[in-house]
Amino acid sequence: MSHELEVLAEEFFGGLVDVDGAIARRVAALGCPHCGGPLHRGDYDRKRRGGLIAGAGESFTRRFSLCCGRQGCRRRTLPPSLRFLGRRVYLEAIVVLASFVAQLASVVAAKVATAVPTRTIRRWLGWWVSDFPGSGAWICASARFMPPPPDRSTLPTSLLQRLGREAQQGPTAPPILKETARWLAPATTQSAPDGSRFVWG
C-alpha cells in the first residue's frame, strides 16, 4: 500500500467549520444541560497541528463553546466537533489518517506520510483499540449501521473502509473523512449529553 496521502485543502476544513457551527446552534437551542439556562457563545482558540497533510486546517482552530448565562451556574458546554478529537494537539483528520496508515502499513510509514512522531501514533492506536470501542459514544454510533457494524478491533480503518464502500469511494477521500468525522463527533465532548442527537439532527 502506498503511504502517500492527499493533502486536505482549506475548503475541506471550511466545510467542517460550517457543520460545527450548525451543531453548536442545536446545542445552544436546548439550553444548559445542568440547569436549563440560556447558553451563550464563548468560543476560544486552540493551537492545532496538521502535520504534512492537514496543515490547511491550522487556520480553523476556533473551538465553538457555550457558557450558561444563568447566575449560580455559568457552566461550560462543549458541542461535538468534526475538527477536534478531544484534547489532542493534532486535528482529528490527521489522527484518523495516521492511524489508518499505521494499521494497514506500519507506524513508520504513518510517520513518513504525516510527520507525526511514532510514539504519538502508537498512543493513538492504543486508544482506538482499547478505550474508544467501549465508549458510550461509539456504542451509540455503531448501532446506526446495518449489521454488522465496523469491526471494533480495527478502528478507525474498519470505519473508513465501510464508509468508503458504501459511498463507492476510497477510504481517504475527503467526503469519507467528513462522514467519518460525523460518526466520531459524539466522542469529542463529555459535556453535551447524547451528542449524537446534535450531530444527526
* Per-residue pLDDT band at 1 (split at 50, 70, 90): very low
Residue 188 has a pLDDT of 92
Residue 107 has a pLDDT of 97
Average pLDDT value for residue range 8-22? 96
Q: Which of 63, 194, 52, 183 is nearest to 114 (CA)?
A: 52
Res. 74: pLDDT tops 90: yes
DSSP alpha helix (H) spans, the chain: 10-29, 92-104, 107-114, 118-126, 136-142, 157-167, 174-184, 196-199
**Which has more confidence, 143 or 3?**
143
Least confident range from 25-34, 37-46, 136-145: namely 136-145
* Per-residue pLDDT band at 201 (split at 50, 70, 90): low
Average pLDDT value for residue range 86-115? 96
* Calpha distance 6→164 (Å, rounded): 15
* Per-residue pLDDT band at 194 (split at 50, 70, 90): confident
Q: Which of 93, 100, 95, 26 is nearest to 57 (CA)?
A: 93
Q: What is the mean pLDDT of the chain?
A: 92
Query: Do 88 and 95 contact (CB within 8 A), yes or no?
Result: yes
**Quick one: 80 exposed, middle or buried, by C-beta within 10 A (0-12, 13-18, 19+)?**
buried
Proportion of the chain above pLDDT 70, given as a percent = 98
Query: Do 85 and 92 contact (CB within 8 A), yes or no?
Result: yes
This prediction has a pTM of 0.93
Res. 51: pLDDT tops 80: yes
* Calpha distance 126→165 (Å, rounded): 25
Q: Which residue has the cell 507506524?
A: 107
Res. 183: pLDDT tops 50: yes
Average pLDDT value for residue range 124-143? 91
Residue 145 has a pLDDT of 86
